[in-house]
Structure 1
Amino acid sequence: MGQTGRVQELWRALSQVALADRSLDDVLGEVTDIAARSIPGAEATSITLVRGDKAFTAAHTGEMALAADELQYERGYGPCMDAGRAGVVLRVDDMRTEQRWREYTARVLEVGVRSSLSMPLPYQGSSIGALNIYSTQPAAFASQDSEEAATAVAEAVAVLVANADAHDRLGAHAHNMRLAMESRAVIEQAKGVLMAQQGVDAEQAFEVMRDASQRYNRKLRDIARGIVESTQRRQ
């Protein structure tokens, strides 16, 4: 298969990654697996996301990738972090002779990394992180095939990360909204119980629950749920 066909296969595989009913971690884990299988020379891959001043590994395939990433986070610099922050491609052909990150390269050799390729994840004119590819062999990514394949994967990964992140935030928001609605419903039920039992109005019933919440250091919805459940048990 030629390079054009390989890139088309990459896009096909990435386009088939499902987002619905999956966590962001799960989606990104599948993406790193695809990258590890598809990029010539790759032995381990990871996705570094940059949020403000913080960088972290969102997913990885191969423990070597995670170890190499974390060595960079400890120091606050390195090829994957610099690629993600600056939006530039950074390739290291041989960690033994690399001069740009001397403390990092000395340590990363200990975990088996000899060469690496870090591709920025471009999104809306900026970079949201980097796709990191590692090998135990020198110059594993020196060929044009490796860089072209990695570029194609990084572009697709950036879209998937952004979409999956948005989907994840939407799911969390919906979950929080559902909890809020359920809490409101049980509070209204409990107010009705207190109004019937104690002959108080709605505002006074709410004050009774709020006082109990403060006195027993329990959430208001838990106090309300206890009132409703106690009434149901007596029926």
Structure 2
Amino acid sequence: MPTSQQPETPGWPRTSASLAGTLIALAATADDASIIDVHLTQAARLAADTLAAVDYASITAWRGQGYTTVAASSELALAVDQAQYADRAGPCLHSLETATPVGVPDIAATMSWPGFYRSAHELGLHASLSIPLFAGSGVPIAVLNLYGRDTATMAPLIAGVRTVYTGRPPPTGNQPGMDTGAHQLLTGLAQALTVRATIQQAIGVLMARNERNAAETYRQLRLRAAETGDSLIDTATALLASAATPHSHPES
């Protein structure tokens, strides 16, 4: 968790939003919306502030022709990110490229990413977790990187995120290592995945009707939401409700 000695990203937004709410809002936001980076920066700050196992957090994204850190709770997190960009290899890049969480429960034992290992080891970090984040299209747009000094407290967090991404419900109750912040993260990820599934289902309905590919159909859904002033998730939910009504057809 951050201390007063850890520099924050300039312009770091201070809001009362929760980590879970931020992840859910991101999943329901169009990829090209101007608020995307606000959500991403907020997710990094809230993760560093609320997750007891996490000492530093950052956001990695592909922008233009390379990887960049959109937000970081500390210069230490930024340094570990940049070591991975320099090598073009590491858990955060692998997570973004494969759209799967990548946990490193013991950095000292990793052999796959030497640049990541050296940087993290020099800074006293012993475990990490990179989590793909997505917006309205359902395609990962960034990765939330969580870095910790204690392997024992990071292990339940890594296991919990893996559970959620396999489609199972997040751990409940007072399980070891599952503090309030961890429950917020896992609940937010689970609900964000539900939002994504709803939007993808609506895209599937439109694809079947209009015989367009997924990218074109997402843009169609995005345009419909913009025209009505509704959110993507509300537009998708309404479309699915209409499609489920007997003798009705979703609008093209």
Please state which band the TM-score falls in when normalised by the shorter chain. 0.5 to 0.7
Seen in structure 2, the aligned counterparts of structure 1 residues 152 and 53 have a Cα distance that, compared at 3 Å, is farther
* CA-based RMSD: 3.5
Give the partner amino acid of 2:110.
E
Match of 1:129 in 2: 142
Seen in structure 2, the aligned counterparts of structure 1 residues 92 and 37 have a Cα distance that, compared at 3 Å, is same
Q: CA deviation at 1:94?
A: 1.2
1:11 aligns with 2:23: no
Could you tell me how far apart the structure 2 residues matched to 1:27 and 1:126 are?
16
Could you tell me how far apart the structure 1 residues matched to 2:22 and 2:37 are?
18
Could you tell me how far apart the structure 2 residues matched to 1:107 and 1:114 are?
11
Q: CA deviation at 1:112?
A: 2.2
Q: CA deviation at 1:35?
A: 1.4
1:141 aligns with 2:150: no
Cα distance per residue 1:63-121 (max 9 Å; x no partner): 22111111111111100111011101100111111122133212321122211000011
Match of 2:92 in 1: 80
Match of 2:46 in 1: 34
Between structure 1 and structure 2, the one with the greater Rg is 1
Larger RCO (CA under 8 A, 6+ residues apart)? 2
1:116 aligns with 2:125: no
Structure 2 alignment gaps of length 5 or more: 1-17, 162-169, 171-181, 196-221, 223-252
Structure 1 alignment gaps of length 5 or more: 1-8, 160-165, 167-235
Seen in structure 2, the aligned counterparts of structure 1 residues 103 and 31 have a Cα distance that, compared at 3 Å, is closer
TM-score when normalising by structure 2: 0.49
Give the partner amino acid of 2:147.
Y
Could you tell me how far apart the structure 2 residues matched to 1:127 and 1:13 are?
16
Cα distance per residue 1:157-176 (max 9 Å; x no partner): 999xxxxxx9xxxxxxxxxx
1:49 aligns with 2:58: no
Seen in structure 2, the aligned counterparts of structure 1 residues 140 and 99 have a Cα distance that, compared at 3 Å, is farther
Give the partner amino acid of 2:20.
W
What is the count of residue pairs matched by the alignment? 150
Could you tell me how far apart the structure 1 residues matched to 2:100 and 2:20 are?
22
Normalized per residue, the structure richer in helix is 1
